[in-house]
Chains A and B, each alone.
Chain A
Amino acid sequence: MSKTLFDKIWDSHVVKKLEDGSELVYLDRVFLHERTGSVALNSLAEAGRKVRNPAQVFATMDHIIDTFPGRGDTTLVPGGEAFIKTMRRTATEAGITLFDIGDARHGITHLISAEQGITLPGLIVACPDSHTCTLGALGAVGWGIGTSDCEHAIATETLRTGKPGQLRVRFDGRLGRGVTAKDMVLHLIARHSASGAAGLALEYAGPAVEALDMEARFTLCNMAVEFGAFTGLIAPDAKTLAYVESRPYAPGGDALEQARRAWRELRSDEGAVFDREIAIDCADIAPTVTWGTSPQDAVEVTGAVPALDRYPGGESRAEFLSTLDYMGLEPDQALLGLKLDAAFIGSCTNSRLSDLRAAARILDGNKVASGLRAVCTPGSQQVKQAAEAEGLDRVFLEAGFEWREPGCSLCFNAGGEGFGTGERVISSTNRNFRGRQGRGARTHLASPATVAASAVAGCIADVRAAQVRTASR
């Protein structure tokens, strides 16, 4: 019988089907962070329980730590230092691997889980963070869990859950100039709504997905949760195997040979049936930005806020007007030229080396607009070191960006920092929810290149019109 990629991974992890219809699913890896992992490990120890297999559990610091240069354990988050110190203590006591601040392998959980080869194709991974679906880019299944599930995961190596339905999204054709994976996923969500994939396991497929490099695939999978999906994943191919095989925690020798054989089977069979299918023609995708307070409120950068009689489906007129009031916008207002107060490049969505390179190509030889605050937070130490080795830090700093230490940072008030009330921010992050980047802050989501072009212009700008210095440095 034909199986989907997701079926193959999921079905091979079912320990037991339970009477109530749920399934006990084996987890290959659990990744913790200081905000939830500290509470879960503490609570587990208080209950007299143990981590069942400490070798498969990893932890980092990203949600509460600050990202200022020269940082330590202090943070602007009230009471935050206790979470950092508890994470460190409980990780040591439980015997799990912690990538602490100061470690050359430290960074945002979903970045380092891939960089270190902790998540591999065909694995099931869980983490108390909704963007765990990022790791689907490796052909793995990952999803976010709450505190009780987190304790359950590390105490039993399993989770109890129902198998989700499935959706395939095909991207056909080729991406146009200046169009990135971020624009693909914003376009998808805008067209099919933020609940378009509600609860489904989403496989991205098609020639335009196969053409993406690994880092772009992480961006595409990262925002599956913004589409309402349970998880998002991409079948592993030669690029995936080349990415994975050199990683520190990846298998070697005979184990690698066995793994390669298993990984080659990880694709949806011909004739495999999905509950839903969506097809997108990449010719329809332009650089995209959001205007509202949901990722579905996205249009091409040359577009405008919807007219009063054409607001998004599922929203009432009152909600639409309330969104525009929050965002300080009018119906029909053009987005190009909208004046900005700040720009942010970072987060598990877009803080990898290729993201920083794309932004740096635009920033090189340019300056951010006067009065605009611009911050870049590389997603991991490995990204930061690689960027600095190429001199990208100089490009960002000379352009007027702050160059930060890795962490979740200004994506959601992590580290206790936010933008000000009414401040308009262009951001390479994943959520434009009210207050997420600071009380009253107005977020416009976009690709790193669009963020950079807009930071230079001082207003929302079309990256295709940006002056890019082409001479090699």
Chain B
Amino acid sequence: MSQLVNDSVNESVNKSVNEPVSMKAFRQLEGIVAPMLIDNVDTDQIIPSREMKRVSKTGLGQGLFAGWRYTYDGGKKTGDNTNFVLNRPEYRAADILLSGKNFGCGSSREHAVWALKDYGFRVLIAESFGRIFRNNCARNGLLAIALPAETIAALEAQTRIDPEARRVLVDLEANVLRGPDGSTFAFEIAESDRHMLLNGLDYIDFTLRFEADIDRFVEADRLARPWAHR
């Protein structure tokens, strides 16, 4: 579980399947890093389409990496695949996922982000991300950080032995990561995404800050284009 390093991080990582995907302020998080250092993890792998049959964004954590995470017999789940990284005891409470190039490529399904969040991830670190997937992260309060391969390798090396004790600090206020050995790595994200995350604004809340502007626009437009309004 994440250690609370700042009052504003009032997040206890909740692996419950019924918790709505909600937006909470993200300032700092010290968490366990799970390494998945492969390239091109596509959204079909993050959540296969057979796992997204619910009329809901919630409860999708169960389907996260379903093809890799469970064992199957003739298409039927038989149990956990104990070799899969997230099933290893030291990574069961991971908050931060570390991956390679082009994480989240492929289908635009937003379910990939909902599944990662519902499972309990708050931060993704990868060399690069699929474009639509990265937009979807920002809209759902998941922090996606792109870093060079050598930084990712360094973080992996620092956390490999005893990841629970060797946590990584993600500081969005300072735009810096701090490894367990004290080394720091600067990162950049889009300013609008950063603003939304720091203030716990979700995508809609962010726009509703301009609700008065919308009201004024609609009022004036109703006079200018009465035929267009209902």
Contacts and interface: CB of A to CB of B under 8 A. Distances in A.
B218 A26 contact: yes
A148 B226 CA distance: 29
Contacts of A26: 214, 217-218, 221
Nearest to B108: A146
B136 interface: yes
Nearest to B230: A55
Contacts of B226: 251, 255, 258
B207 A146 contact: no
Interface stretch (A43-51, A275-283, A326-334, A395-403): A43-51
A15 interface: yes
Given A15-B214, A152-B204, A86 B191 contact: no
Interface string A280-295: 0000000000000000
Contacts of B225: 122, 258-259, 262
A158 interface: yes
A322 interface: no
Nearest to B57: A43
A380 to B, nearest CB: 21
Interface residues of A, number: 45
B110 A147 contact: yes
B57 A39 contact: yes
B161 interface: no
Interface string A24-67: 10101000000000110011001101000101100000000000
Contacts of A86: 55
A262 B227 contact: yes
A249 B22 CA distance: 37
A46 B50 CA distance: 24
Contacts of A122: 225, 228
Contacts of B229: 28, 56
A54 to B, nearest CB: 9
Contacts of B53: 78-79, 82
B228 A120 contact: yes
B203 interface: yes
B228 A24 contact: no
A2 interface: no
A19 interface: yes
A82 B191 contact: no
B55 A82 contact: yes
Interface string B182-212: 0000000011100000000001101110110
Contacts of B208: 155-156
B11 to A, nearest CB: 17
A58 to B, nearest CB: 10
Given A86-B55, A151-B204, A255-B227, A15 B217 contact: yes
B83 interface: no
A297 interface: no
Q: Which residue among B54, B132, B207, B228 has the maximum number of chain A CB atoms within 10 Å of its CB?
A: B228
Contacts of A160: 206-207
A20 B207 contact: no
Contacts of A49: 204
A22 interface: yes
Contacts of A22: 192
B140 interface: yes
Contacts of B214: 15, 24, 26, 156-158
21 contacts: A16-B210, A20-B192, A22-B192, A24-B210, A26-B214, A28-B229, A38-B55, A39-B55, A42-B55, A42-B56, A46-B56, A82-B55, A83-B55, A151-B204, A155-B208, A156-B207, A156-B211, A157-B218, A158-B207, A255-B226, A259-B225
Q: Which 7 pairs between the two chains have the least Cβ-Cβ distance? A: A259-B227, A79-B53, A251-B227, A55-B230, A20-B192, A255-B227, A148-B139
Given A20-B191, A83-B55, A258-B225, 11 more contacts: A39-B57, A46-B56, A46-B58, A79-B53, A147-B57, A149-B139, A151-B203, A156-B204, A156-B214, A158-B207, A259-B225
